[in-house]
Structure 1
Amino acid sequence: MVRRRGTYRIKIRDKQLICLFCQHDEFLHREVYMDLNPLEEPVTEQLTLQTFSCTSCGDIRMFQEKNRFDHTLQQHVTIIEYTEVTKE
Structure 2
Amino acid sequence: MVRRRGTYQIKIRDKQLVCFFCQHDEFLHREVYTDLNPLGETVTDQLTLQSFYCTSCGEIRMFQEKNRFDHMLQKHVSIIEYTEVTKE
Superposition TM-score, scaled by structure 1 size = 0.98
Aligned: 1:30 with 2:30: yes
- Range with bigger deviation, 14-23 or 36-45: 36-45
Amino acid at match of 2:83: T
Q: Following superposition of structure 1 onto structure 2, how do residues 1-88 of structure 1 map, counting pairs within 5 Å?
A: 1-88=1-88
What is the CA–CA distance in structure 2 between the aligned matches of 1:58 and 1:65, rounded to whole Å? 21
Rounded Cα–Cα distance in structure 2 between residues aligned with 1:18 and 1:42: 37
Amino acid at match of 1:62: M
For residue 10 of structure 2, give the secondary structure of its aligned residue in structure 1.
Answer: strand
Identity of matched residues, %: 85
Structure 1 unaligned residues grouped into runs of 5+: none
Instruction: Pick which of 34-43 and 1-10 moved more.
Output: 34-43
TM-score, normalized by length of structure 2?
Answer: 0.98
Regions of 4+ moved over 3 Å: none
Provide the alpha-carbon RMSD of the alignment: 0.5
Aligned length: 88
CA–CA separation in structure 1 for the residues paired with 2:59 and 2:87: 21
Output one character per residue of 1:38-85: Cα deviation in whole Å (capped at 9) or x when no partner: 111112310000000000000000000000000011000000000000
